[in-house]
Each structure stands twice: as structure tokens, then as C-alpha cells.
Amino acid sequence: MHFLKTTERKRIFMTAFLAAVACVTFAQDQLASIAPIDKRLRVIDSISIIRMLEVESQGDPAASLYPEWNNNYTTQYGVEMPKEYKIDLRGFHMPCESRRVTSSYGYRRSFRRNHYGTDIKVYVGDTIRSAFSGKVRIVAYNRRGYGKYVVVRHHNGLETIYGHMSKQLVKEDQVVRAGEPIGLGGNTGRSTGSHLHFETRFLGKFIDPEKMFDFQAHDVLGDFYLFSSVGRSRLLTAEEGDKLPDNTILASVGGPTFEADKEEQSKRFQEQRRESIRTHVHKVRKGDSLSTIARKYGTSVNRLCKLNNITTKTVLRVGQILKYS
Ligand SMILES: [Zn+2]
């Protein structure tokens, strides 16, 4: 009997793996070439696999961003926020089957306080899945708050929180892939009626999940989300995102310790930034009106009309793209 050496087997496996990825990548390129410019990438397995390998080789996803890895609940990381950071949203997986948002992010009059996540209707026992690949940072119970909850840190810099579950299916420090079950829907903690409380944070700062994801469509709203601590955060298309320099440079643009050789890149970046500002768009959803859209982006109905060459009487179509700035 002859057995292949481990290294030999690894090599064969990797060759097969790369061939498989190459096929998927090729198919994606084909898709991209025929897709409209604002084509949103759906869940693509090759991306999930690559992310998973990255996570495994790194141990701590987004290690360069967060000061440390721990299993404690926190919203303060004690580090300076980067000026800008490009969050890669590709590879997103819907955390549940349900598409029904029951409560959005923002101020809740009935509670007289802010709601820092998006509530999605789920039933007790429904599978809750990790939105991206990453590593489970917290598995805990908070009787007066999240109930049974899980926090996952992702390679793209986001941390996602899943609250009110009936059961957690993962352990702390466990590596998970996008779409992997992490718990079951429930009604634990401060919750009336079973639902999933889904929260997204970047270095502890809350981000309205509905600024990045379209839960009805089980999709992302753009390929990248440019987090900004100095200006307004916004969505970027794949094209815009790819043009931006990597995050280490983004974070230091305009910073005090700016090296001369980075100046050229900065200039280029500023130009691209001006370009990308033109693409602030909203995809009309069921129930949207000019006034709700205006409110969402902090603009006025008049300005929306002017920008889109429409009047207040124009009937909005679901799926219609509207510029909002
Ligand atoms: Zn909630």
C-alpha cells in the first residue's frame, strides 16, 4: 500500500480547490460584464470560501483595526476611529429566511430611546445565520436586554450582533462562515414577540443595517460601504470601491503624519471621492414616498424632485433609482 505524503495531499487538494475557485471567478466575471453598473453581488460561495481562508490564516478577523481580541461585551474600543474605512459588503448572507422588518434603527417614541438595530420577524426555532464569515466573539445572556445573543467579528471590520435567540449554536472563538447557523430565533431578553434583533457596528459605532442591506431582497445595497468619521458614510459600487486605495491609506488621509510619497495617492483618492459623491442613490421600496426618502437621507422633497427631474405628483415605482444628493 502506498499513501501520499501529507504535503503531497495538501498540494493536490489546493490545486483542485484553486481550479474550482477559478471556475467560479470566471463565471462571476462573465456576470459582471453583462450586469448593469450598479449590479449588486449576491452571496457568492467563492467569496465566502476566500474570506474563510483569510480568517483561518489570520486568527483574528480585522486584527489591524481592533486593538485586541476578547470575549467581553463592549461598545468602546478605546482607539481612534479611522477617518474613512471601506467596508466590503460582498459575501453577505441574510441572517434569517424572513424578509419582514418589524422595527427599524432609530429613535423609538414608545420607548423614548434609540433602537440600535433592525428587528426582523422570526419564529421560535427559526435558523439564525452569520451575515458574513468571521469569528464568534461573544456568546452570552442578558436578561434585560439582548437575551441570548451572539456577537461575531468579521473580516470586513464589522461586528454583527444577533439578539433574543432561543438557543445559541456556536461557542466563543469559533470560526464561522457566512450563512452558517449560529442560533435559533426566539423571544429571550427584553422582547415582546419572537424576533431577531440584528445590529451592525464598526469599531463599536452603530451603523443602521438598512443603510447597507436590503432585507426584503436578501441583498446588499452596494458592494462597499464607506464608513466616514469625518464626513458622511455612504454606499459605493464595486467600481468605486475598487478604485479607492486600501484601508490603511484611507484611514490616514488628511492625518497629521502624512508621508510625502502618499501625497500622490491622496490626490488621486480625493478626485475619485468627488466622482463617487455623484452616486448617492436610493432604490425605491414598497411603501416608500418622497417624504420618507427625504427624511431618511436628511434632505427635502423639493431637492429630491429637482435632482431626479420629477414632481411631487410623480408616482414612484418599486425598484426605481432616485438620486438623493
Ligand atoms: Zn431590536
The CA 58 to ligand 1 mean position distance, Å, reads: 32
Q: What angle do CA 173, 177, 181 make, to 5 degrees?
A: 85
Question: Per residue in 134-187, pLDDT tens?
Answer: 999 999 999 999 999 999 999 999 999 999 999 999 999 999 999 999 999 999
- In this prediction the pTM is 0.62
Q: In what order do the strands lie in the sheet with 84-88?
A: 84-88, 224-228, 234-236
Distance 207 CA to ligand 1 centre (A): 13
Q: How far is the CA of 1 from the centre of ligand 1 (A)?
A: 60
CB atoms within 10 A of CB 28: 15
Distance 99 CA to ligand 1 centre (A): 15
162 CA → ligand 1 middle, Å: 9
Query: Which residues are found with C-beta within 5 Å of the ion, ligand 1?
Result: 117, 119, 197
Domains 35-272 and 281-323 share a fold: no
Residue 232: name the closest of 284, 268, 280 by CA: 280
Question: 117 C-alpha vs ligand 1 centroid, how far in Å?
Answer: 5
pLDDT band at 81 (very low <50, low <70, confident <90, very high): confident
Report the separation in Å between the CA atom of 295 and the middle of ligand 1, taken as the mean of its atom positions: 21
Distance 108 CA to ligand 1 centre (A): 10
Distances (CA, A) of 322 to 15, 16, 221, 314: 46, 45, 13, 12
Cα(101) to ligand 1 centroid in Å equals 10
d(CA 25, CA 152): 27
Most confident of 89-93, 273-277, 317-321: 89-93
Tell whether the model's pLDDT for residue 204 goes beyond 80: yes
CATH number assigned to the domain covering 281-323: 3.10.350.10
3-state secondary structure of 256: coil
Whole-number Å distance, alpha carbon 195 to ligand 1 midpoint, is 8
- State what percent of residues in the chain have pLDDT above 90: 47
Q: What is the pLDDT of residues 17-66, one digit of tens each?
A: 555 544 444 444 444 444 444 444 444 445 555 555 554 555 778 888 88
Q: How far is the CA of 200 from the centre of ligand 1 (A)?
A: 12
DSSP 282: E
* Cell numbers linked to 192: 415582546
**Sequence ranges of the domains in the chain:** 35-272, 281-323
Between the CA of 169 and the centroid of ligand 1 the distance, in Å, is 20
E strands along the chain, which residues? Answer: 84-88, 101-103, 106-108, 113-115, 118-121, 127-129, 134-142, 147-154, 158-165, 167-168, 175-176, 181-184, 195-202, 205-207, 213-214, 219-220, 224-228, 234-236, 281-283, 321-323
Q: What is the DSSP letter of 313?
A: T
Q: Classify burial at 160, counting beta carbons within 10 Å of its beta carbon; exposed 0-12, middle 13-18, buried 19 or more.
A: buried
Mean pLDDT of 203-224: 96
Q: What is the CATH number of domain 35-272?
A: 2.70.70.10
User: Which of 216, 229, 233 is CA-nearest to residue 280?
Assistant: 233
Cα 325 to Cα 320: distance, rounded to the nearest angstrom: 16
Q: How far is the CA of 289 from the centre of ligand 1 (A)?
A: 24
